[in-house]
Structure 1
Amino acid sequence: MKSMKALSLFSGIGGIDLACEWAGIETVAFCEREPFPQQVLKKHWPHVPIYDDVCTLTKERLEADGIGTIDLIHGGYPCQPYSLYGEREGAEDDRALWPEVCRLIETIRPSWFLGENVIGHVTLGLDETLSDLGNLGYTAQPFDIPAVSVGALDERRRVFIIAYSNSEQWETPSIFPRLNTKGSPKAPKIWSEFQFYNGGANDFLFRKEDESLLCRADDGVPRELDEPRFKALGNAVNPYQVFPFLAGIKQIDNMMKEMQK
């Protein structure tokens, strides 16, 4: 069966991309401008190209670089405009980059979109996001999933937006099959015993599989090196939070492709 391919925006250290990998979705390109997360991405996905500016990324540039059909665009677009702990300027904030995400969705026309943001987005900006997706011909649904629901030590509430292109919907909704969760992809067992640190399920990205987690309060790492790591962890998407959505997307996409044969 044809593999499902994803474009990763605001990739950070690859939390969503790790969950994609677990679900059987291939990341074909990253877009991340921060140097430290770029190093992490290069370490774990050395053959995947990294673009450094979502504002200059275009469908034409991706195609020129040999990146073909994209089935899924995903990303946690900047949360500062919507955060309950910020100025909450929404679209007036210079860091509000949803319009760039919307532009890429409109030109690339993926079957799926998955967005992530802080819970403050629910009361500021989410209506516009859902309206924009609707105007582009996508049916979208937001979900409020806290990290504590997947075993993290902190609440870390996040809103996830799942959108699917109306042009690819089933003509007869009654034939929508029941999802079979038996044998669905699962996170590798090695991570099932992972101890969450500060809500950062991506901490393992900074170590090898045979290394133990370090106590960040006194781990011998110079502070100037530890600070970008803390920042990256704070911005990272917990892969356990987003994995169920991606596993469901992959399963539905597989069924859609089977029905189109």
Structure 2
Amino acid sequence: MKKLSLFSGIGGIDLAAKWAGIETVAFCEKEHFPQKVLRRHWPNTPIYDDVCTLTREVLERDGIIGTGRTIDLISAGYPCQGESYAGKRKGQADDRWLWPEVTRILDELSPSWFLGENVSGHITMGLDQVFTDLETLNYTAMAFHIPALAVDGDHERYRVFVVAYSNKESGPQKNKAISSVREKWETWKNASWCDWRPIPRSNWHIFGPPVSRSTNGIPDRLDRCYGLGNAVSPYQVYPILSAIKAINDQIRRANYENKI
């Protein structure tokens, strides 16, 4: 399963995707410090720095997609400053509101899955528009409001995760695929987070030493604080990505069996 990562930050979602068996084939992140982190841990994965110029044509030119190479999942931690309770909450009037670029890329690439991430303030500002746009693009979507504490995090850090599945499947497999997704989602919603299989912790060093112990100088420390402040805990999003991978594998098996 192949994933394109938009607004990647320091790779929290992408690390969780790796644990779940999903390969990130390209990043899009404009900030210098997060790019350094991504290059350190994914040295062979290309990084684009402007979501506004990232197109299907560019990805085809660079060999990211093409014959036999498709994007199954797009993840996007789209900018949250316009929705954050810590800001002025301008929402879509904020010039950092880049959700329309996400919808453009979704429309161009038509992945089977979408995973969005944002702050709690997104629930009351902007989330309705996200659902409307996803429905227009023919996706079935739902949102989950999950604290890092749910996976034994040391801080509350609530995040809104938007999970969407494309309804564009054609032929006799469509209804079976959609019902599989819905059935799995119902099980998923009702399950305790503790029911998920153990999450590997060997790569947690990706985020470097704790901020309070950084001795790399003030500028780097500020960059580290910024990166960590915007980061998604991989443990927080891993159950979602694990479920997406399991459902996707189930659908592929069902489609294969229907063909033979």
Place the TM-score, normalised by the shorter chain, in its bin.
0.7 to 0.9
Q: How does the TM-score come out when normalised to structure 1?
A: 0.86
Would you say 1:164 and 2:165 are equivalent positions? yes
Give the corresponding residue for 1:90.
91
Cα shift readout 1:124-161 (whole Å, capped 9, x = no counterpart):
01000000000000000011001111111211111000
Structure 2: gaps of 5 or more residues: 189-194
Would you say 1:240 and 2:253 are equivalent positions? no
1:157-236 maps to which residues of 2 (within 5 A)? 157-168=158-169, 170-172=174-176, 176=180, 186-190=198-202, 204-207=205-208, 213=209, 216-236=211-231
Q: Secondary structure of 1:115's match?
A: strand
Q: Using a 3 Å threshold, how does the CA distance of structure 1 residues 186 and 170 change in structure 2: closer, same or farther?
A: farther
Name which of 55, 60, 76 aligns with 2:57: 60
Give the corresponding residue for 1:149.
150
Q: Using a 3 Å threshold, how does the CA distance of structure 1 residues 218 and 40 change in structure 2: closer, same or farther?
A: closer
**Runs ≥4 residues deviating over 4 A:** 172-175, 177-181, 183-186
Q: CA RMSD in A?
A: 2.2
Name which of 6, 24, 27 aligns with 1:27: 24
Aligned length: 240
Cα shift readout 1:101-128 (whole Å, capped 9, x = no counterpart):
0100011000000000000000001000
Give the corresponding residue for 1:73.
74
Would you say 1:6 and 2:3 are equivalent positions? yes
Shift of 1:184: 7.5
Name which of 36, 42, 45 aligns with 2:42: 45
Structure 1: gaps of 5 or more residues: 192-201, 208-212
1-structure distance, mates of 2:219, 2:180: 53
Cα shift readout 1:45-82 (whole Å, capped 9, x = no counterpart):
00000000001100110011001200000011000010
Note if contact 1:170-1:176 (Cα within 8 Å) is conserved in structure 2: no
2-structure distance, mates of 1:42, 1:162: 27
1-structure distance, mates of 2:201, 2:227: 24
Note if contact 2:10-2:207 (Cα within 8 Å) is conserved in structure 1: no
User: Which protein is richer in helix relative to its size?
Assistant: 2
Q: Secondary structure of 1:114's match?
A: strand
Q: Using a 3 Å threshold, how does the CA distance of structure 1 residues 222 and 189 change in structure 2: closer, same or farther?
A: closer
Shift of 1:232: 0.2
Shift of 1:171: 1.3
Note if contact 1:5-1:70 (Cα within 8 Å) is conserved in structure 2: yes
Shift of 1:189: 4.6
Task: State the one-letter code of the partner of 2:15.
Answer: L
Q: How does the TM-score come out when normalised to structure 2?
A: 0.86
Paired-residue identity, %: 53
